[in-house]
Amino acid sequence: MKAKSLKRELAVWLFGVLSTLLAVDAWYSYSDALRAANQAYDRSLSASLKGIAERIYATESEIVVDIPYSALELFEAGSSDRVFYSVGLSGEAPITGYDALPTPSDLEPNIAVFYDGYYKGQALRLGAMLKPLYRTEFAKPVVVVIGETTNSRQEVVQRLFKSEIGRKALLVVVALLVALSATRIAVKPVESLGEAIRSRPDDDLTPVDSRQVPAEVVPLVDAINLHMDRIGRMLEARRRFITDAAHQLRTPLAVLNTQAEYALRQRRAEDMRPAVEAFHQSLGSAIRLTNQLLALSRAEPVNGLMLSRQQVDLAAIARDMVVELLPLAERKRIDLGYEGDDSPLFIAGNPVLLREMVANLIDNALRYTPTDGLVTVVVEAAPESARLRIIDNGPGIPEGSRDQVFLRFFRLNPNDHHGSGLGLSIVREIVHGHDGEIELLDAPDGQGLEVRVSLPA
């Protein structure tokens, strides 16, 4: 699907808005032009009305209407309009002029009124005035009406209207071109930004410099930089995983290959069995190492599993893991127990990762606690947090090494090959991903280690 053009959309939007404004302005411009033409031509009508009204008078027996030539002369010179007039008593047939010209009903004495009307199918502009006679013989006033066709007026209106609209249409076109040019200039930094990003090497994820872009584009650059930072951290996590896997699995795989070759060289089954048992043990260690590497990869915040949170009962997870690891404790004759209320203790977290965290802590305690030892899992509520405590009576960890044991593949005893050196690294990643804290303390009775994890409730 072809991307929408910002410049095209802006041009269409501006054209629509400016065209609408031009149409509204055209209506007002036409009204203004018509009003101006009427005011100019109505002066002629007013002068003619007053000229005729001044030459109307009454005697004892009749009304005399002496229409001066000058009253109608104003409409003749070079005009294409026809003139109609009527003089007569109100409500009666005209004394002179045309019959049945439109006459308003709300006339006042000696005040000219102007209005539009139709006479014999022709549009007229008319003026009317009442002329009182001030004689008892003629109580009714005389109504003077003059009308002319609107050809000349319309010609003037059309000239004024076209001139006004022409200028404003030209302004609209200029404004549209200026807006489009301004838009082209405004989006130029975005196009330059896109070209700069496209021309980068594939492995260049350094932040884009936002100092040379307009302020309106800075949020876009910040979003791009944030996204590139996420991609960089994901790639770094992937490279770290591949490096760790290649480094840590090379030796176990070589051992497995050697053990398999040794077993294949044996002729008798009883001679092959010890080699197969050693192969099986080494395979189990390799599987555990692989699972630990995958667990560490999942626990890293960059993989996004920390964003998938729900209400999780930490007490229920701890009880389940104690039950699940009881066979391992029984093989070493270790007393593995759980202390805590039966009531649930909910926190917001990822259930899969929290199970991984608890399993690693209990498994570590069981691996390093001697036979006939004691491992206790405690879950308790604390102010604004849930607390998990794993207490054992094993050899513990010297205080000076308690920060180092969280490093990947670190072992207190380099000759100890029972573990992978990843358990506490996994736990720390999960704890920090849940905005929690982890501490390594001496066991309450001074013998062994207490691992204390606090997670927001």
Q: What is the pLDDT of residue 296?
A: 62
Q: Minimal CA–CA distance to 294: which of 352, 365, 368, 362?
A: 352
**pLDDT mean by block of 10 residues, the chain; 457 residues:** 71 84 87 84 86 85 80 60 86 86 88 91 91 83 89 84 86 85 80 81 79 79 84 73 61 72 79 79 69 64 63 91 90 91 86 86 88 92 89 87 77 59 78 88 88 90
Whether 146 and 126 have beta carbons less than 8 Å apart is answered as: yes
Around Cβ 275, how many Cβ atoms within 10 Å? 18
Q: What is the pLDDT of residue 97?
A: 87
Q: Which residue has the tokens 């009304």?
A: 63
Q: What is the pLDDT of residue 272?
A: 79
Phi and psi dihedrals of 192, rounded to 5? -65, -40
Phi and psi dihedrals of 147, rounded to 5? -135, 150
Whether 341 and 315 have beta carbons less than 8 Å apart is answered as: yes
One-letter-per-residue 3-state SS of 72-124: HHCCCCCCCCCEEEEEEECCCCCCEECCCCCCCCCCCECCCEEEEEEECCEEE
Angstrom distance (rounded) from CA 74 to CA 77: 7
Q: What is the pLDDT of residue 293?
A: 62
Whether 427 and 408 have beta carbons less than 8 Å apart is answered as: no
Strand runs labelled E in 245-306: none
Amino acid letter, 371: T
Q: Minimal CA–CA distance to 176: which of 382, 32, 18?
A: 18
Q: What is the pLDDT of residue 61?
A: 80
**DSSP letter assigned to residue 456:** E
Angstrom distance (rounded) from CA 376 to CA 450: 9
Residues 6+ apart with CB under 8 A from 171: none
Q: What is the pLDDT of residue 286?
A: 67
Q: What is the pLDDT of residue 301?
A: 60
Q: Which two tokens stand for residue 425?
A: 């690294």
Q: 418-454 as b/e, with b when 16 or more CB fall inside 10 Å?
A: ebbbbbbbbbbbbbebbebebebeebeeeebbbbbbb
Q: Could you give the maximum distance between any two Cα atoms of the chain, in Å?
A: 162
